[in-house]
Amino acid sequence: MRSLLAVGLLSGLSIVVPSSPACACDCASLSRDEALARADAVFVGVVTDVATPWRWLMWSSADPVTVTFDVDTAYKGVVPAEARVRTARESPSCGYPFEVGQRYLVYVDVQADGTWTTTLCDGNQTVDETTALPIGGYPPVADMTQPRRWWPLGAAALAVGALAVVVFIARIRRRRRNAPADS
């Protein structure tokens, strides 16, 4: 009884005690020139797809989202005509809220494995007729493709292969069991 009372009292105190606000993503404002200098690649493009990972019950605002862009102008780096950029799922984890059909100025960091990433803090912005764009744009590279991650396809092929082996072994054992015994 006393332990139940102690747990109740401690739970009640946690509600009364003030806490500081939680802030998962805290960005310093960057000028366009600072954002351009920090980025590995910069481009303007229209979002054609936002691929969020499928999660059944548990998901996180930090889950990676892959955004595909139809690039029309590059400003820094070697940029493919179709760029795929990863960001966090939601803004509390510094993910940028890209929307399909919208045109954006995107600042990208290239990771060691070749993955392109961006965050809410990198200076991305929607582009309209009044947006001031960097000087010196050039066309994207038409035949360049970014590295694709094929491991999900490979994992699926491996699983199908393993299942085929199990079925094959089961059939052989069944045939041996059902075979007439030699006299």
Residue 92 lies in a domain: yes
- Tens of pLDDT along 162-182? 788 888 788 888 888 887 766
15, pLDDT greater than 80: no
50, pLDDT greater than 60: yes
Question: Which of the residue ranges 67-76, 107-116, 148-157 would you say has the lowest mean pLDDT?
Answer: 148-157
Residue 74 lies in a domain: yes
Residue 9 lies in a domain: no
- Tens of pLDDT along 124-160? 999 998 888 888 899 999 866 555 554 555 666 677 7
Task: Identify whether the C-beta of residue 61 lies closer than 8 Å to the C-beta of residue 90.
Answer: yes
Rounded CA separation 114/112 (Å): 5
Residue 181 lies in a domain: no
Looking at residue 74, its pLDDT comes to 96
Residue 154 lies in a domain: no
Residue 167 lies in a domain: no
Residue 116: which residues within 8 A CB-CB, separation 6 or more?
Answer: 41, 83, 84, 85, 86, 108, 109, 110, 146
Distances in whole angstroms, Cα of residue 101 to Cα of each of 10, 83, 89, 131: 51, 15, 18, 17
pLDDT, mean of residues 117-121: 91
Instruction: Read off the pLDDT band of 1 (50, 70, 90).
Output: low
3 state DSSP class of 38: helix
Residue 109 lies in a domain: yes
60, pLDDT greater than 70: no
7, pLDDT greater than 90: no
Residue-number span of the structural domain to which 58 is assigned: 22-147
Considering 62-71, 75-84, 129-138, the range whose residues carry the highest mean pLDDT is 75-84
Residue 15 lies in a domain: no
Q: In CATH, what number is assigned to the domain containing residue 87?
A: 2.40.50.120
Q: How many structural domains is the chain composed of? A: 1
Report which of residues 143 and 88 the model is more confident about: 88
